[in-house]
Structure 1
Amino acid sequence: MIETIIFDFGDVFINLDKLATPRELSKLGDFKWTPKMQELNNLYEVGKVSTSEFLNNYQKIFPNAAQQQLIEAWNAILLDFPKYRLDFLQNLVSSQNYKLILLSNTNELHIDKVKETISFYETFRSCFDAFYLSHEIHLRKPNIDIFEFVLEQHQIEPSKTIFIDDTKENTDSAAQLGIHVWNNDPKSQDITNLFTLKSHLF
């Protein structure tokens, strides 16, 4: 019987266009995704590089781009957050049947944009018993230590926990610890179908 539900954020609640950022960056100059850029992104995602340092590094790659253009390209991945998903979450809260945790690889620029554009962000955040963003806890998925951190922080049993994420690499890591997982496909599945698609766990 599931007692704790751990949710990803992007492509679970808020819709993403994961190709948007490289597409928009390519409009700002010659662009090729490199291991060095990926390393910078990962460091930024765990808060080991500040937003100003992050943008300064990108301005070296795109010297003709204004900082605001870089910010807009970086945030282009973020789309809409359908209100019915908030309704689903609020119904879960009302049931008082589960501990609800958000666990997201999210950097400062992205969450600032979400706060700016999603009118019910604070209501959404308040639905969770814990709200973990990678840049604040300095850990990121799919590393095992981020899941160990959550299990230890809340003294929860993996066998009574489900983790939902659209990235298979992330759910594979959680599964290694005995956590039940749902690697959702955002193109054909919706978080509101949780209890239908995973009825055997509830």
Structure 2
Amino acid sequence: MANVVGAIICYAIILILLIFRLHDIWPFFPIIAILIAMFHKIKNHYNSVAEQLRITDNNKAVCYSGNKVLVLVGNMTQATIGAVNYAHSLSKDVIALHVSTTETLSKDHEVEEEFKQFFPDITFVNVYSDYRDIIKPTVNYVNAASQKAKAHNSTLTVLIPQFVPRKPWQTLLHNQMNLRLKYYLRWNQDIIISSYSFHLKK
């Protein structure tokens, strides 16, 4: 009974507003229509995600021949060394990828020499970029490496070193390039993107 009374009151209020205050409330009608359309689209998105994630009879185990780990190397830091050590625990096939630009060319040779002092048996690939663009050369190399790995029935894991500041607000000051790299790399369906986090103590 309470629901019926409430519904009658609501309809009565709406009717009164339509008759006497239409010139004031008409902007709400397109807003309500937009909200309804938006909620309907969101519901369809959730249904689509659930359908794509649902396990079917066609699912089966896949046996890969191996796993290549590609470590993105900027400067030689504690995070870099930890990431390479972790990569070596995942696979014996590890490649370190470094992108050189015109401004950092003189310093990049030192980075490679220092890397070889710690990891003489790991391949160090230095990709040169004419501009101050690290994203495009990295994505191009990863795409080529993923296609090669796929052709050999192997997986490719891209490992991105990063450090975690002690205070949450300091996170805004660091690792911005890593976020951009992850954004552009995530569109490649044939790679696994992983992070190695080095936690700062102070």
Q: TM-score by structure 1 length?
A: 0.41
Larger radius of gyration: 2
Greater strand content: 2
Greater RCO (CA < 8 Å, at least 6 residues apart): 1
